[in-house]
């Protein structure tokens, strides 16, 4: 079947996933509330129970959509293959007696194995994310679980591709040469990529529509990148990425509709893990993980800014959400208090440098052993520090506009400026 027809079918199924998610979320909300999977929006005047962890509905419909789509791109193999299932690509060009090239069948089988591994990793992360929403796992578990969930993906990458050579940027070639074989370190990098993607979205959260909104912007950016590359030599890998990405965008847009201000459904850690692992899978199997990281510039900035609290160099409260003022219906930056001199020296150094640069607000009470108050280290609070109190909807729009701006920068770096670093 021609790839354009496959892509059209995938778009139709993605739209079906969008409609199914749009109806399923309000239809199943009462079941989550009955099971006590619900929360109260702390940034609203009215305290109303809202179903939580609705990312599980979104993820399940995504998996069903992909399952239905599987026979479409692999129909040729299903119809013509009469032998055992090959797992390697590039098996010559002979036919199998039915007129279908063995190399085509082998490539199709290799892609099929990659797809199954991708779905297994996404499914595992979806399950583990739901377990986190139910059991409220600790941070060390949140670092371990994506690593475990990425193992099937890394194993299949080793069996089917196993390319660990990277091209060295031009400015460093005098030192490192044209290319560099990272060997096992490349697999460590891919495992860390899965951990970063799943947690980066999770820590940039706390206002209605932000988790899903940033994921939709990243997904649309990746979709545009894949479409631009369809005419290149790696068409098949970018087509494979689109097959996984379009249904994700479909279910995410439906979830965004219900999660937008005022939210009628909370996404939970389930969606953050599901979205992060989907992006990691697309970047690794699409062989453009470095390009994908360009679209994560806000998440990278938020992670670096949050490092002192994430690693407890600065006290980190359970929730770092902005503070809500019910009288004005505005969000203010939240803060945490501590004794500055009692912090480890890296934490004190970070705060003093950032205070000098205007990136944190420190206030110390008078007297010996005074208490220091510092804004929580997220770019949400940083935005509120610079802008002053804002309405929740405005905060989300501002952060998503920043995400779009960073995607524009990423495309400039990836295309016009790429020739400065690589032979394009």
Task: Note the pLDDT tens digit of each residue in 66-102.
Answer: 999 998 887 655 555 544 444 444 333 334 444 455 5
Domain check: are 268 and 347 in the same one?
no
Domain check: are 120 and 265 in the same one?
yes
Domain check: are 367 and 392 in the same one?
yes
What is the percentage of the chain residues whose pLDDT exceeds 70? 90
Domain check: are 323 and 289 in the same one?
no
Q: Quick one: pLDDT at residue 208?
A: 94
| Per-residue tokens: 158 | 């080793």
What's the pLDDT band for 254 if we cut at 50, 70, 90?
very high
Q: Quick one: pLDDT at residue 260?
A: 95
Kindly report, residue by residue over 313-328, the tens digit of the pLDDT: 999 887 888 999 999 9
Most confidently modeled range among 97-111, 293-307, 358-372: 293-307
Per-residue pLDDT for 163 more than 90? no
> What are the b/e assignments for 79-89, b being 16+ CB within 10 Å?
ebbeeeebeeb
The residues facing 335 across adjacent strands are 375
Domain check: are 287 and 316 in the same one?
no
Domain check: are 22 and 109 in the same one?
yes
Kindly report, residue by residue over 347-393, the tens digit of the pLDDT: 999 999 999 999 999 988 776 567 889 999 999 999 999 999 999 99
Q: Quick one: pLDDT at residue 424?
A: 56
Domain check: are 291 and 319 in the same one?
no
Among residues 269, 298, 302, 277, the alpha carbon closest in space to that of 194 is found at 277
Domain for residue 144, yes or no?
A: yes
Among residues 43, 12, 21, the alpha carbon closest in space to that of 323 is found at 43
- At 35, which helix (H) or strand (E)? none
Domain check: are 269 and 391 in the same one?
no
**Eight-state DSSP code of residue 343:** S
Quote the CA–CA distance of 164 and 75 in Å, as a whole number. 31
- At 40, which helix (H) or strand (E)? strand 38-40
Alpha carbon 355 to its chain's center: 30
Worst-scoring range by mean pLDDT, 5-19, 136-150, 342-356? 136-150
Of 230, 264, 295, the domain-final residue: 295
Q: Quick one: pLDDT at residue 75?
A: 67
Domain check: are 235 and 375 in the same one?
no
Quote the CA–CA distance of 10 and 18 in Å, as a whole number. 12
Compute how many other C-beta atoms are within 10 angstroms of the C-beta atom of residue 295: 26
Domain for residue 111, yes or no?
A: yes
Backbone angles phi, psi at 207, to 5 degrees: -125, 150
Per-residue pLDDT for 403 more than 60? yes
Domain check: are 236 and 374 in the same one?
no
Domain for residue 21, yes or no?
A: yes
Q: Quick one: pLDDT at residue 133?
A: 86
Of 235, 264, 295, the domain-final residue: 295
| Residue showing tokens 């995938």 | 10
Those residues whose C-beta lies under 8 Å from the C-beta of residue 142, and which sit 6 or more positions away, are: 132, 198, 199, 202, 269
Coil, helix or strand at residue 264: coil
Q: Quick one: pLDDT at residue 74?
A: 78
Q: Quick one: pLDDT at residue 87?
A: 44
Domain for residue 421, yes or no?
A: no
Domain for residue 306, yes or no?
A: no
Domain check: are 372 and 239 in the same one?
no
Domain check: are 262 and 354 in the same one?
no
Domain for residue 335, yes or no?
A: yes
Of 260, 295, 330, the domain-final residue: 295
| Domain range enclosing 31 | 3-295
Task: Please report which residue ranges of 35-72 form alpha helices under DSSP H.
Answer: 55-69
Domain for residue 100, yes or no?
A: yes
Strand ranges (E), 98-229 = 165-167, 179-181
| Cβ(234)–Cβ(161) below 8 Å | no
Worst-scoring range by mean pLDDT, 80-84, 202-206, 210-214, 279-283? 80-84
Q: How many domains does the chain divide into? A: 2
What is the percentage of the chain residues whose pLDDT exceeds 90? 51
Domain for residue 147, yes or no?
A: yes
């Amino acid at each position: 079947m021609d790839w354009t027809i496959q892509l059209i079918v995938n778009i139709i199924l993605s739209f079906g996933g969008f409609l199914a998610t749009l109806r399923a979320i309000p239809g199943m909300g009462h079941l989550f509330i009955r099971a006590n999977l619900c929360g109260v929006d702390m940034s609203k005047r009215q305290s109303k129970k809202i179903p939580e962890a609705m990312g599980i509905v979104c993820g399940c419909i995504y998996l069903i959509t992909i399952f239905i789509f599987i026979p479409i791109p692999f129909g040729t193999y299903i119809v013509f293959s009469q032998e055992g299932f090959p797992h390697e690509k590039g098996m010559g060009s002979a036919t199998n007696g039915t007129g279908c090239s063995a190399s085509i069948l082998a490539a199709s089988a290799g892609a099929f194995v990659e797809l199954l591994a991708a779905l297994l990793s996404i499914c595992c992360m979806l399950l583990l994310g739901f377990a986190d929403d139910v059991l409220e796992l600790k941070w060390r578990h949140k670092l371990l679980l994506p690593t475990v969930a990425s193992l099937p993906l890394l194993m299949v990458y080793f069996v089917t591709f196993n390319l660990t050579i990277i091209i060295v940027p031009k400015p460093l070639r005098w030192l490192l040469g044209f290319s560099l074989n990272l060997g096992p370190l490349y697999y460590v990098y891919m495992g860390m990529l899965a951990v970063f993607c799943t947690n980066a979205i999770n820590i940039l959260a706390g206002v209605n529509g932000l988790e899903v909104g940033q994921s939709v912007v990243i997904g649309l950016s990746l979709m545009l990148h894949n479409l631009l590359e369809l005419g290149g030599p790696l068409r098949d890998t970018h087509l494979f990425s689109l097959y996984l990405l379009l249904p994700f965008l479909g279910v995410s847009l439906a979830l965004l509709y219900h999660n937008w201000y005022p939210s009628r459904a909370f996404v939970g850690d389930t969606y953050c893990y599901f979205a992060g692992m989907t992006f990691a899978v697309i970047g690794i199997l699409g062989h453009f993980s470095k390009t994908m990281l360009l679209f994560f510039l806000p998440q990278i900035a938020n992670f670096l800014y949050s490092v002192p609290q994430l690693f407890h160099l600065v006290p980190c409260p359970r929730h770092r959400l902005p503070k809500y003022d019910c009288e004005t219906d505005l969000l203010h930056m939240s803060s945490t208090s501590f004794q500055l001199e009692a912090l480890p020296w890296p934490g004190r150094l970070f705060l003093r440098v950032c205070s000098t640069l205007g990136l944190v607000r420190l206030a110390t009470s008078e007297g010996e052993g005074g208490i220091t108050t510092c804004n929580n280290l997220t770019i949400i609070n940083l935005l509120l520090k610079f802008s002053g109190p804002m309405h929740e909807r405005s905060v989300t729009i501002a952060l998503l506009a920043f995400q779009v701006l960073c995607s524009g920068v990423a495309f400039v770096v990836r295309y016009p400026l790429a020739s400065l670093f690589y032979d394009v």
